[in-house]
Amino acid sequence: MTSEDGANATKRDETDGGALERMNANLARMDELTKRLVGALSQRQSSDQGLQGPGPELYAKAMAAYWAELANNPGKLIERQVGYWGQALRHAMEAQGALAQGKPAPAPDDLPKDRRFANPLWDEHPYYNFLKQQYQISASAIRDTVSELGGLDAADKRRVEFFSQQIVDLFAPTNFLATNPEAMQRAVETEGESLVKGLENLVRDIEANHGDWLVTLSDPDAFQVGGNIAATEGSVVFRNRMFELIQYAPTTKQVHARPIVLFPPWINKFYVLDLKPQNSLIKWIVDQGYTLFVVSWVNPDASYADVGLEDYVTDGYLTAIDVAREITKQDQVNAIGYCIAGTTLAATLALMARRGDTSVASATFFTTLADFSDPGEMGVFLDDDFVDGIERESKQKGYLDKFFMGRTFSYLRSNDLVYGPAIKSYMLGEAPPAFDLLYWNGDGTNLPGPMVTEYLRKLCLANELATTGFSLLGEDGLTLGDVTVPLAAIACETDHIAQWKGAWHTVDKMGSDDKTFILSESGHIAGIVNPPSKKKYGHYINDEGLEAETPEDWLEKAVYHEGSWWPRWEEWVRPRSGKKVAARKPGGPNHPVIEAAPGQYVKSKDRAA
């Protein structure tokens, strides 16, 4: 052996020894983390079974429908089953034959593309390609069987399809370490360090949710509310038990006399409309010369166990409107309601009309459903079993923990908001990205039990505001027909929470003679947070108003316009905002500035505020 050979051998021994040392260190760290994980899981509090999935009645209905289908049309189901067996077996034989002949090439793959299988190994490696194709064949067979299942009404059919798809998504081979080539490759390349980091991320998430699991979507340390997000200049000018009212500082010398009062949903925090200056709707409205007030709702805890929807109307909507009028010395305001806050704004306007209260000059609705005859994708959760679970859970704790609503909305897009992020975080050991929108998405709020139960039972399930009439603060029979103020509604084309056709029907049933409906491209958030500077999503307008018989007819005659809907809405609200007056500083004699925006309520992060 030459001296060079000896040196190389020594270097290899040192390299191998270093790798072994790192591997042992990683294994030791995993042992520590496993103990922490067990401890974190032991902190999990019991929650109502109604919040974990559909009730047994749905499974019973699905099984009864399946057996009825088998009895009435056995040939059809047997044919489908035999077809599935044949396709799966044929593919297995092709894959086995390729391996037996020493050909590592995968069997032919003509199945639909799926971005979960974007890694080239899913196509190039025969074993992983086999797993992928077998999963896709099985998934397709399940979906086809469920879609052709008869004997169920439309709501039950939609729920069976949704929850069966949840099971299909759960068992994708991408979700398991041993069958995910990218995760296995990363573990080998990093000598197990990726798995250590992944376990650290998992333990962090379990600890953060007190024993429950919900994947962290954004770097929790990348943003500071009031620092690099929610930073538009303004002041808290009023505070009560339900909300803080923020008045934003003017950026123009003159402003329109009539102020705008914006009511965001209290399921999340208001700053989705003020993430950063470039995409802040709040800043943009102020920059157009408007005095803007924004409601920042409290994050309730057990002390709010008695709070119902009427408290949000009395101590929220009506109070905020009165304070804004008093500060600006105006008789009327223009109001905006977003999502659930839009639904409640509609009920409030119906109440005000019944009382002869003309404090609101016009109303704008962002992605608002108040006619729940077709709730869209959210309908899978709008059933008695789910609402019963919410009611029992909130009665026990005094409130509904934000964890449950966060998880519910995440599973509407499970591959994008649950499994995909979990793979990156836990299997690949990646840190969550610094993404402001996802940070906001994880910064939810608790809900008072009586409020959420009343909202779901009366406004969603019974659809009272759109049909028989809703009772509010002593006024019975309130309907959408009582909403008579001039109104504009912005719906979003791919909205999975407030589907746009339902938003169209909501506006169609309102009693106003002055209606404008705008359909934005994109979804529930991106369609609203769509600044003109980005020139990203366009919108549709129909100059005939809502004269069409159906939303489909409306869209067929609508004209597409490039760019954001924001300027078009501003053109609509401008003539309803009065003459120009000198810009106003926040606050007034009876409502002095309490503190700088964004205030205290929005910063509450505890599961129980």
pLDDT in tens, 325-340: 999 999 999 999 999 9
Predicted model pTM: 0.89
Give the model's pLDDT for residue 3. 54
DSSP 403-436: HHHHHHHHHTTHIIIIIHHHIIIIIS-PPPP--H
Q: What is the mean pLDDT of residues 577-581?
A: 97
> Is residue 102 scored above 70 in pLDDT?
no
pLDDT per residue over 402-452, tens digit each?
Answer: 888 888 888 888 999 999 999 999 999 999 999 999 999 989 999 999 999
- Reading the block at residue 289, the tokens are 């010369």
The region of weakest confidence among 155-164, 280-289, 549-558 is 155-164
Q: Quick one: what percent of the chain has pLDDT higher than 90?
A: 64
Q: What is the mean pLDDT of residues 218-237?
A: 95
- Does 345 have pLDDT greater than 50? yes
Residue 55's pLDDT band (cuts 50, 70, 90): confident
**pLDDT exceeds 90 at position 516:** yes
Cβ-contact 560, 305 below 8 angstroms: no
Q: pLDDT of 298-326, one tens digit each?
A: 999 999 999 999 999 999 999 999 999 99
Domain boundaries, the chain: 73-189, 234-401+446-603
Number of neighbouring beta carbons within 10 Å of residue 328: 20
What's the CATH architecture for 234-401+446-603? Answer: 3-Layer(aba) Sandwich (3.40)
Say if residue 6's pLDDT is above 70: no
- Judge contact between 370 and 482, C-beta under 8 A: no
Range with the poorest average pLDDT among 5-9, 32-36, 130-134: 5-9
pLDDT at 10: 47
Q: What is the pLDDT of residues 241-260, one digit of tens each?
A: 999 999 999 999 999 999 99
The stretch 343-358 carries a mean pLDDT of 98
pLDDT over 50 (residue 555):
yes
For residue 436, what are the contacts with CB-CB under 8 A and spacing of at least 6?
Answer: 218, 223, 229, 275, 276
CB-CB contact of 582 with 563 (8 Å): no
**Mean per-residue pLDDT over the chain, rounded:** 89
Q: Which of 183, 195, 339, 451 is catalytic?
A: 339
CA dihedral 131, 135, 138, 139 (to 10 degrees): -170
pLDDT over 50 at 609, yes or no: no
How far is C-alpha 416 from the chain's CA centre? 11
What's the rounded mean pLDDT across residues 582-609?
87
Peptide bond into 375 cis (omega under 30): no
Structure tokens at 24: 């042992």
Is-catalytic flag, 460? Answer: no
SS3 content of the chain, % helix, strand, coil (to 5): 50, 15, 35
Give yes or no for residue 363 having a pLDDT over 90: yes
pLDDT > 60? residue 453: yes
Report phi then psi at 12, rounded to 5: -65, -40
